[in-house]
Amino acid sequence: MKEPEEFYEPEIETISREAIGKLQLERLKRQVKRCYYDSEFYRERFDKVGLKPDDIKSLDDVEKIPIVTKEELRQEQINHPPLGRYTVAPRRDWRELHPSTGTTGIPINTIWTQRDVECLTQWTARTMWSFGVRSGDIIQNSFSYGLWVAGMSVHYAAARLGCFVLPIGATMTERQLDYFVNPGSTAMVATPSYALYLAERMRQRGISPDQIPMRLGAFGGEGGTEVPATRKKIEQGLGIDAYDYYGLAEIGPTCASECKRKVGIHWAEDHILVETVNKDTRERCAPGETGVLVLTSLTREGTPLIRYWTNDYARLDFEKCDCGRTHVRAVGGILGRADDMIIYKGENFYPVQVEKVVRSFKELSDEYKIRLTTHERTGADVVTVVAEYIDEKTNTAEFKSKLKRALREELIVTPEVDLVKSGTIERTEFKAKRIEDKRIKD
């Protein structure tokens, strides 16, 4: 028997696979009906492939529904401003507008209704509980507030859990450190790159991890926490337990997180239907196979998305976790973004692999960049990994070739290496931009 303390909502978190399937099917059918009858956007897409809501009789039937991409939502919004016709809830039910961050183009607007706020507050409270937040904790909410989704969801959920919230957002770095000490935050959320920056500043200010009472944090909004070297740096730098957190504006913030076992991010499957599909054929992957995450909002009222192509790679495990939770896990977190794939000399790799290598060297800082340029003479692509040395003495040809060898081992190809002084690469309070594309385009 697991102690009841382990779960926030025991009945739903430890539900049998059969029962969660039943609940998902019921909610999927309802969602498909709403979308078909209340949204021209969805009706057109269903009609195009000759699909009617009643054709969805089992969870497997979801495969018959066309996948929707961010580009299609963007186009829909341009054709039918301001929100596109995928906003299903009537205007009187709208409560909050939250655009996607727009890191890859014009932001996509999404709408939260009152019920959406209620659902995402509940699942965020559940995820926060799963990595150990309890009533009485002082939460330093260093996710961006306002339009970005995660600041708000953590804020609402912290209140629900009975926590004391410091609504600072991803800003005022020195003040963040002051709050670490007094009133002494006990838990925090941030992007992993900002957490590393805070750890770096803490070291510079001479505050040691055992001077602050913080015991845990969850980090998301970009990759990083799932990389063992990065997680270790956050944990040691801040003296805490670090957990991986995932969400996206289009589907919902903070909807998947690690439990205490740190064996993949658990999804809130009562709210979201999770699939992985092959990048090229778009056919569904078998459990354990890596594919692009495709998500369906089962309970979302405002802007429900059916089979949304996230561009994120994951590998799903539907087996019950050692923690007792039965909801599906993405093992190893997000494995990369389909957009970020770099093709070099016939091999492909992801920024996260470079991160793994750079952060395994204690001679280097946590920051890095991947610079793409065009070779002046040959016109070929050149990939250069820019990393920062902590001590000038590291800047030697010998160290460079050591780094190159380690990169080659991980990436199969050998990039160029450029070492710069610590502090040269721009620090970020939001999402780190790792790829700098300076290639000459024809």
Return residues touching Zn ion (CB under 5 A): 259, 261, 321, 323, 325
Select 111 or 321, whichever has its Cβ closest to Zn ion: 321
CB of residue 14 to Zn ion, shortest distance in Å: 10
Select 80 or 260, whichever has its Cβ closest to Zn ion: 260
Select 272 or 321, whichever has its Cβ closest to Zn ion: 321
Residue 290 β-bridge partners: 315
- 405-414, long-range: CB < 8 A, 24+ apart: 406/357, 406/360, 406/361, 407/354, 407/357, 409/357, 410/349, 410/353, 410/354, 410/356, 410/357, 411/344, 411/347, 411/349, 411/353, 411/354, 412/347, 412/349, 413/344, 413/345, 413/346, 413/347, 413/349, 413/383
Q: Are 192 and 238 in contact (CB under 8 A)?
A: no
Chain centroid offset of residue 162 CA: 25
CB of residue 259 to Zn ion, shortest distance in Å: 3
Q: Are 139 and 188 in contact (CB under 8 A)?
A: yes
Select 259 or 294, whichever has its Cβ closest to Zn ion: 259
Select 259 or 387, whichever has its Cβ closest to Zn ion: 259
Select 256 or 432, whichever has its Cβ closest to Zn ion: 256
CB of residue 314 to Zn ion, shortest distance in Å: 16
CB of residue 13 to Zn ion, shortest distance in Å: 9
User: What SS3 state is found at 436?
Assistant: strand
Query: Helix crossing, 173-181 with 192-204: angle to 10°?
Result: 70
Joined tokens for residue 336: 């990369």
Q: In 58-191, where does DSSP find H-type helix?
A: 70-79, 114-130, 149-161, 173-181
Select 14 or 374, whichever has its Cβ closest to Zn ion: 14
* Rounded Cα–Cα distance for residues 219 and 192 (Å): 5
| Helix or strand run (H / E) with residue 317 | strand 308-317
CB atoms within 10 A of CB 414: 16
CB of residue 321 to Zn ion, shortest distance in Å: 3
CB of residue 315 to Zn ion, shortest distance in Å: 16
CB of residue 16 to Zn ion, shortest distance in Å: 16
